[in-house]
Structure 1
Amino acid sequence: MSQYKHVLIAVDLTEESHQVIEKGFAIAQRNNAKVSLVHALEPLGFAYGGDIPMDLTSIQEQLDQHARKKIAELGGPLNIPDNCQHVIVGVPDSEIHRIAKEQDADLIVVGSHGRHGLSLLLGSTSTGVLHGAKCDVLAVRIQKDKEK
């Protein structure tokens, strides 16, 4: 098994994020590795196609503040320092690749909802992270009722 030095855990800030964090944090502890959390917010302009003639800046800032609060709530109890809690705006898979490279992460941990069908085996973000990563990627299967 590889000796990981820096585990980057990508979370979507849903209730299921704890499952991804538990797996990633356990691997980091076994390897005495640094842990970072990352959440990627898609720009609102992407969600609305950029066709709406309105300023979405204040809404984007509110989403950013909410995400920072949520990621701090997840990272705080695990003593993950503030400078290792990243909220970034952009296309999630490419931004996760960028932060992994910048932070020299050697393992990215993401959640997978395990949807049916070959093309839906992983979620779109998980698939994008897997295919473009320059390091190992662990896809954690999300359990709706946290059954093991």
Structure 2
Amino acid sequence: MARPGSYFIALCMVAIAASASVLAFTVAAVEAGTAAAVGLGALLAMVIGHFGGQIGADRTATEARLAELTRTSGEAARSLAELTQRIERFEALALERARALADPLAEEVGELGALVKQFAETLEIHEAAILQVTSPVAAVASQPSVAMPLAGPAVAAPVQREA
């Protein structure tokens, strides 16, 4: 993209080349074609010099930007490494805290599991005892006169289960 100053410089180069052609024609008494070639050569030399200077300036600016970008990316990499370390420490701390909070709960759950298992075993023992008590009652229950009084304890057994 052309810069506004470049148009002024180009205009000045053309003016200088035209002046060199006119001076070569009038003062040095050179033929018109040769004077035009001298002016065109001077213009070409100025354009090449200007572009060379522009390219050098652009290269210097690009190298400065690249150095700045390299420095910035290095800082970003260091910041990212520090952030990664902080996150790792945070994760380790959070894991330790979670374990510290979960271990007592796990022990309580284990104890509750053991109590439930013990309760289930006790319940099985009581159910077996109730079945043993009610099985002779079932044999006696076939007699109509004895079936009514024994029905009371049979109904009490489910109440004991609920309790």
Q: Bin the TM-score by the shorter chain.
A: under 0.3
Higher RCO structure, 1 or 2 (CA under 8 Å, sep 6+): 1
Decide which structure has the larger Cα Rg and report it: 2
Q: What TM-score do you get using the length of structure 1 for normalisation?
A: 0.23
| Structure number having the greater strand percentage | 1
